[in-house]
């Protein structure tokens, strides 16, 4: 063995490891989408700094802002899916959270900071409550997660309409609006909050044994129970976390327009969340999960949404376009297609080896 | 009886997994009308060789010749169409379908309006009759028949395609003696019809009872092929483990040890039972004592173990642990009271397949500490180093997924998982099932050593010799109740227990 070939450089190692991650194609797709946008406008990626306020602005910043709510529900969904569950109610919980906060602020009518805080706490409180109901029905009663959260999806939408008497409700409260439209160090507040929450959650899951236990339950619930893991507490917790994050997503998406549209807020958000999880490489069968993957998935979906608008694709064709892109990514990362690639690669290396030895 | 041309010939087969040479230049021949046993320790490459033959794994080099022509299978369906069928250790049938549907799955008889169920069941019946199972109603749900019958149904299913080669991977591991005899009758019948049968079993008696020819593997290498009558058991064992059989014979017996029954028991239960699974049973286990649970399959020995651990919730009984009255209604409660339970159902209730050896090892310790207090890397490494070495797990790479280990090594990792919790009472349900002589001896030695150090052990096994060798007291169960308790001594043998079970039956 020659010294030059003895040890690949750190960069090569990093890239090799990256290419073994299931979400590598999501990164490739993300870059491709940006390139597509660049071809339309070479200045697409430009970020300008507002000299007066220090705020950053540009398409990339818009994408970060838009990705925040998707990140929230995608991370929650990842944990639920890892336990062999699914949470279809996240979109409706978003609507409920938005409805509660808007209704409260409209009724009290003050634009004070205190009102905003109470509105946020109310929204989070009711979200946690809905999550608890999901968790209890799944873990203690033993209902199927799909059915449980499907019912909650319908019930939540109904609850949001009851809270606002079926009206789209608006309110004025600058501190609340700041959550969606404000900036911290030039970055959108929603994105900063989202990153902080994800960092805290990731630490909670990976620095403690919670992640290991969630995976154990997802891979083999019987064996996990025999090993002394209490599944009930962990299951209830993941549904509560998922609902809480959906509540935060609800606040994010209503605060930007200061209006909750009970029939539209969070509509099909559960699909975005599930897609982000799948794109991120977490199996819907449960078990091993990747929060990083889901975040990349969320960024991709946000980029895709923005690209569709930017390329002026008609809004009626949006879902179809989105579907095509996502199917391609899922195809690229399916084990079978990957096996096809690696087979071809193996063949190439083998022929090379044979040539060398001959 | 033996044809001159082998129907299957595998030459110089090599398979390499990342970091492991699973098979190296292995040769294997299978003749029609012959039962050929594949022997070897866990991890010797038996399963790998079978999977190479059935197309589950791709071979890196070597040739496979089937019925005279070279073949390269790319999947089990491929192998099946070439006339090679496999019946695995764990029955792979659908519980919710009928016997007939299971037999004919994928080969249903079709008529002009889709599947003709009447004809399908007639065909299923014919397939069952071929194996002498004419009494079995094909319309009965599979879940209503015993595991042994299910095994035979699985064989019928394999033979529906008129296979020329039948592979039986440890078919007897969960059957009792009568059931094994029934299975052997079926195997002999198929052999006499000219089917080539590849048989894998860890029970030497069975191997000598059924097989005509033996191939021995060790560490992925071919050791030798012999006609069964020409190889003594001692020779076979030393070929398998690569060392003298004397070390096995030297394995201690517990009978000479002082009885521990004088002091207060660590664990004591009165009237422990659960409706439908076990009638109330009394059991005491003293510190340092090995209590054996003996009985036939379905006697209630596993059920008793599960009730002690709380894996099933007992609905009667008073339990005293370490002198304190208590209740054990869940595995969590059992672990917190220093009771551990190693299940007989390794795949479904033991290992967590996608997790690594390390994660599987630390799981019970971590669960008892709670998720908020994770074991540090150093603590995890300590547990891994200690138990991987002590229990001689191969390969000893803690970051490998446990599902890639052989059965015996998975069992050792699970044993390590429980030992890491430092239990005072260890309930072992079939810890040596489906593993080879060498690993079996290692596990038995470990159990004896643990008891020597003061641990209480409840030892459950279908092998009576093993129970007699290890236990100081033996509780005999039958038909879901305790029928006797004997203190082990020089006069107690497996036959003693058989007699107890037999006389108890005739007195009814």
**Cβ B372–A208 below 8 Å, yes or no?**
yes
Picking from B355, B359, B374, the nearest residue to A208 by CB comes out as: B374
Which pLDDT does position B93 carry in this prediction? 86
Which pLDDT does position B180 carry in this prediction? 84
Contact at 8 Å (CB) between B415 and B408?
A: no
Structure tokens, A89? 């109610």
- Measured CA to CA, the distance from residue A349 to residue B14 in angstroms comes to 19
Q: Which residues of A touch B373 (CB under 8 A)?
A: 208-209
Is A235 an 8 Å CB contact of chain B? no
pLDDT in tens, B197-218: 999 887 777 888 899 999 999 8
Contacts of B156 (CB under 8 A, 6+ apart): B103, B124, B127, B128, B130, B131, B133
Give the B-side interface with A, CB within 8 Å.
Answer: 311, 331-332, 334-335, 341, 343, 348-355, 359, 363-364, 366-375, 417
Q: Is the pLDDT of residue B245 over 50?
A: no
Contact at 8 Å (CB) between B427 and B460?
A: yes
- Measured CA to CA, the distance from residue B408 to residue B332 in angstroms comes to 26
Helix (H, G, I), strand (E, B) or coil at B34: coil
- Measured CA to CA, the distance from residue B138 to residue A326 in angstroms comes to 46
Contact at 8 Å (CB) between B59 and B14?
A: yes
pLDDT band at A161 (very low <50, low <70, confident <90, very high): very high
pLDDT in tens, A203-229: 999 999 999 999 999 999 999 999 999
Q: Which residues of B touch A224 (CB under 8 A)?
A: 352, 363
Average of pLDDT values for B277-286? 91
- Orientation of helix A189-207 relative to helix A231-255, angle to 10°: 170
Phi, psi at B182, each rounded to 5°: -60, -45
* Residues facing residue B487 across a β-bridge: B473
For B243-305, give the secondary structure using H, E and C. Answer: CCCHHHHCCCCHHHCCCCCCCCCCEEEEEEEECCCEEEEEEEECCCCEEEEECCCCCCHHHHH
- Measured CA to CA, the distance from residue A303 to residue A31 in angstroms comes to 10
Q: What one-character DSSP code corresponds to residue B374?
A: P
Average of pLDDT values for B210-232? 90
Closest-CA distance, B354 to chain A, in angstroms, reads 7
Q: Is the pLDDT of residue A21 over 90?
A: no
CA separation, residue B498 to residues A277, B190, B305, B495 (Å):
57, 31, 21, 5
Q: Which residues of A touch B359 (CB under 8 A)?
A: 212, 216
Mutate: best of A226, A287, A288, A335, partner B, most B CBs <10 A: A226
Picking from B355, B368, B372, the nearest residue to A228 by CB comes out as: B368
- Measured CA to CA, the distance from residue B27 to residue B50 in angstroms comes to 12
**Cβ A223–B372 below 8 Å, yes or no?**
no
Q: Is the pLDDT of residue B249 over 90?
A: no
Strands A169-170 and A259-260: antiparallel
Which pLDDT does position A348 carry in this prediction? 56
Average of pLDDT values for A82-95? 96
Nearest CA in chain B to A286: B354
**Cβ B364–A216 below 8 Å, yes or no?**
no
Mutate: best of B354, B402, B410, B421, partner A, most A CBs <10 A: B354
Phi, psi at B167, each rounded to 5°: -105, 125
Contact at 8 Å (CB) between A76 and A273?
A: yes
Nearest CA in chain B to A203: B372
Picking from A209, A219, A230, the nearest residue to B366 by CB comes out as: A209
**Percentage with pLDDT > 90 across chain A:** 59
Q: What is the CA radius of gyration of chain A?
A: 22
Which pLDDT does position B259 carry in this prediction? 58
**Cβ B371–A209 below 8 Å, yes or no?**
yes
Q: CB contacts < 8 Å between A and B, how many?
A: 76
Q: Alpha-carbon dihedral of residues A139, A203, A297, A41, nearest 10 degrees?
A: 150
Summary mean pLDDT of chain B:
85
Q: Which residues of B touch A226 (CB under 8 A)?
A: 311, 331, 341, 343, 349-350
- Measured CA to CA, the distance from residue B438 to residue B436 in angstroms comes to 6
Is A224 an 8 Å CB contact of chain B? yes
Q: Which residues of A touch B353 (CB under 8 A)?
A: 219-220
Residue B224 burial (CB count, 10 A) = 15
Summary mean pLDDT of chain A:
88
Picking from A228, A234, A287, the nearest residue to B335 by CB comes out as: A228
- Measured CA to CA, the distance from residue A18 to residue A111 in angstroms comes to 48
Phi, psi at B317, each rounded to 5°: 120, 145
CA atoms within 13 A on the CB side of B27: 6
Structure tokens, A238? 């993941």
Q: Which residues of A touch B352 (CB under 8 A)?
A: 215-216, 219-220, 223-224, 227
Q: Is the pLDDT of residue A112 over 50?
A: yes
Nearest CA in chain A to B377: A207
β-sheet with B456-460: strand ranges across: B339-342, B425-429, B456-460, B290-294, B473-478, B481-487
**Cβ A212–B353 below 8 Å, yes or no?**
no
* Residues facing residue A225 across a β-bridge: none
Query: Could you give the angle at the alpha carbon of A112 between the alpha carbons of A106 and A116, nearest 5°?
Result: 65
**Cβ B374–A229 below 8 Å, yes or no?**
no
Nearest CA in chain A to B60: A350
Q: What one-character DSSP code corresponds to residue A45?
A: T
**Cβ B366–A212 below 8 Å, yes or no?**
yes
Average of pLDDT values for B468-473? 88
Q: Is residue A252 within a helix (H) or strand (E), and if so which, with residue range?
A: helix A231-255
**Domains of chain B from N-terminus onward:** 1-83+163-247 (3.40.50.300), 93-162 (no CATH), 263-506 (3.40.50.300)
**Cβ A228–B354 below 8 Å, yes or no?**
no
- Measured CA to CA, the distance from residue A140 to residue B105 in angstroms comes to 36
Q: What one-character DSSP code corresponds to residue B229?
A: G
**Cβ B353–A219 below 8 Å, yes or no?**
yes
pLDDT band at A8 (very low <50, low <70, confident <90, very high): low
Closest-CA distance, B419 to chain A, in angstroms, reads 12
Structure tokens, B484? 């006797």
- Measured CA to CA, the distance from residue B221 to residue B46 in angstroms comes to 10
- Measured CA to CA, the distance from residue A86 to residue A222 in angstroms comes to 19
- Measured CA to CA, the distance from residue A192 to residue A199 in angstroms comes to 11
Q: Does the reported pTM lie above 0.90?
A: no
Phi, psi at B431, each rounded to 5°: -70, -15
* CATH fit for domain A69-335, picks 3.30.1600, 3.40.50, 1.10.3470, 3.30.1300: 1.10.3470
pLDDT band at B260 (very low <50, low <70, confident <90, very high): low
- Measured CA to CA, the distance from residue B208 to residue B216 in angstroms comes to 14
**Cβ A219–B417 below 8 Å, yes or no?**
no
pLDDT in tens, A147-156: 999 999 999 9
Strands B339-342 and B425-429: parallel
Residue A135 burial (CB count, 10 A) = 27
Q: Which residues of B touch A287 (CB under 8 A)?
A: 354
């Amino acid at each position: 063995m020659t010294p030059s070939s003895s040890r690949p450089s750190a960069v090569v190692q990093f890239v090799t490891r990256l290419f073994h991650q299931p979400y590598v194609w999501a990164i490739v797709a993300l870059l491709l989408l940006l390139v597509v946008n660049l071809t339309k406008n070479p200045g697409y990626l430009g970020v300008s700094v507002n000299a007066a306020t220090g705020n950053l602005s540009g398409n990339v910043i818009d994408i970060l802002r838009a990705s925040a709510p998707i990140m929230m529900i995608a991370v929650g969904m990842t944990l639920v899916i890892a336990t062999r569950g699914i949470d279809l109610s996240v979109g409706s919980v978003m609507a409920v959270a938005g409805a509660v906060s808007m209704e409260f602020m409209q009724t009290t009518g003050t634009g004070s900071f205190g009102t905003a805080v109470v509105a946020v706490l109310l929204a989070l409180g009711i979200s946690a409550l809905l999550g608890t109901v999901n968790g209890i029905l799944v873990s203690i009663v033993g209902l199927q997660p799909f059915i449980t959260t499907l019912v909650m999806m319908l019930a939540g939408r109904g609850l949001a309409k009851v809270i606002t008497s079926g009206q789209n409700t608006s309110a004025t409260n600058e501190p609340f609006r700041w959550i969606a439209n404000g900036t911290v160090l030039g970055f959108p507040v929603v994105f900063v909050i989202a990153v902080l929450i994800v960092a805290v959650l990731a630490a909670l899951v990976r620095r403690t044994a919670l992640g290991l236990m969630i995976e154990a339950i997802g891979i083999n619930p019987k064996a996990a129970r025999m090993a002394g893991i209490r599944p009930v507490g962990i299951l209830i917790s993941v549904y509560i976390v998922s609902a809480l994050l959906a509540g935060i997503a609800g606040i994010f998406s209503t605060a930007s327009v200061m209006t909750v549209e009970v029939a539209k807020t969070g509509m099909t958000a559960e699909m975005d969340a599930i897609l982000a999880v799948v794109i991120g490489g977490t199996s819907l069968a449960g078990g091993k999960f990747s929060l990083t993957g889901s975040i990349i998935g969320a960024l991709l979906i946000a980029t895709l949404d923005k690209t569709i608008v930017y390329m002026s694709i008609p809004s009626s064709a949006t879902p179809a376009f989105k579907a095509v892109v996502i199917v391609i990514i899922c195809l690229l990362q399916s084990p079978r297609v990957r096996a096809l690639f690696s087979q071809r690669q193996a063949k190439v290396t083998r022929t090379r080896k044979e040539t060398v030895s001959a | 009886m033996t044809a001159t041309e082998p129907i299957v010939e595998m030459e110089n087969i090599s398979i390499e997994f990342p970091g492991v040479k699973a098979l190296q230049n292995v040769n294997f021949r299978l003749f029609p009308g012959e039962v050929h046993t594949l022997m070897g320790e866990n991890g010797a490459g038996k399963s790998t060789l079978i999977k190479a033959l059935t197309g589950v794994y791709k071979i890196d080099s070597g040739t496979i010749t089937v019925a005279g022509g070279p073949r390269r299978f790319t999947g089990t369906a491929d192998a099946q169409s070439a006339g090679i069928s496999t019946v695995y250790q764990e029955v792979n049938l659908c519980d919710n379908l009928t016997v007939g549907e299971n037999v004919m799955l994928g080969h249903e008889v079709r008529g002009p309006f889709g599947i003709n169920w009447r004809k399908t069941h007639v065909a299923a019946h014919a397939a069952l009759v071929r194996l002498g199972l004419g009494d079995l109603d094909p319309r009965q749900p599979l879940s209503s028949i015993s595991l042994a019958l299910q095994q035979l149904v699985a064989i019928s299913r394999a033979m529906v395609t008129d296979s020329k080669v039948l592979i039986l991977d440890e078919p007897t591991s969960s059957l009792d003696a009568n059931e094994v005899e029934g299975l052997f009758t079926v195997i002999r019948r198929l052999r006499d019809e000219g089917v080539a049968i590849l048989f894998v079993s860890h029970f030497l008696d069975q191997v000598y009872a059924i097989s005509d020819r033996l191939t021995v593997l060790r560490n992925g290498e071919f050791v030798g092929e012999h006609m069964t009558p020409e190889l003594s058991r001692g020779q076979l064992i030393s070929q398998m483990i690569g060392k003298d059989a004397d070390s096995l014979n030297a394995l201690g017996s517990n009978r000479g040890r002082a009885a521990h029954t004088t002091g207060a028991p660590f664990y004591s239960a009165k009237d422990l039972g659960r409706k439908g699974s076990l009638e109330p049973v009394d059991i005491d286990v003293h510190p340092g004592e090995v209590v054996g649970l003996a009985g036939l399959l379905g006697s209630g020995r596993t059920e008793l173990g599960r009730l002690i651990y709380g894996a099933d919730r007992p609905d009667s009984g008073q339990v005293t642990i370490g002198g304190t009255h208590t209740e054990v209604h869940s595995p969590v409660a059992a672990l917190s009271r220093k009771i551990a339970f190693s299940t007989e159902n390794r795949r479904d209730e033991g290992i967590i397949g996608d997790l690594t050896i390390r994660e599987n090892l630390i799981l019970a310790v971590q669960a008892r500490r709670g998720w908020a207090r994770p074991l540090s890397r150093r603590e995890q490494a300590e547990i891994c180093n200690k138990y991987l070495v002590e229990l001689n797990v191969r390969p000893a790479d803690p970051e490998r997924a446990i599902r890639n280990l052989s059965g015996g090594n998975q069992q050792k990792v699970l044993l390590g998982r429980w030992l890491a919790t430092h239990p005072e009472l260890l309930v072992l349900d079939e810890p040596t099932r489906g593993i080879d002589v060498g690993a079996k001896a290692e596990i038995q030695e470990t159990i004896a050593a643990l008891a020597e150090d003061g641990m209480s052990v409840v030892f459950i096994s279908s092998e009576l010799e093993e129970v007699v060798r290890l236990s100081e007291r033996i509780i005999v169960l039958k038909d879901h109740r305790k029928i006797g308790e004997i203190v082990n001594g020089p006069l107690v043998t497996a036959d003693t227990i058989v007699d107890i079970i037999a006389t108890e039956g005739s007195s009814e």
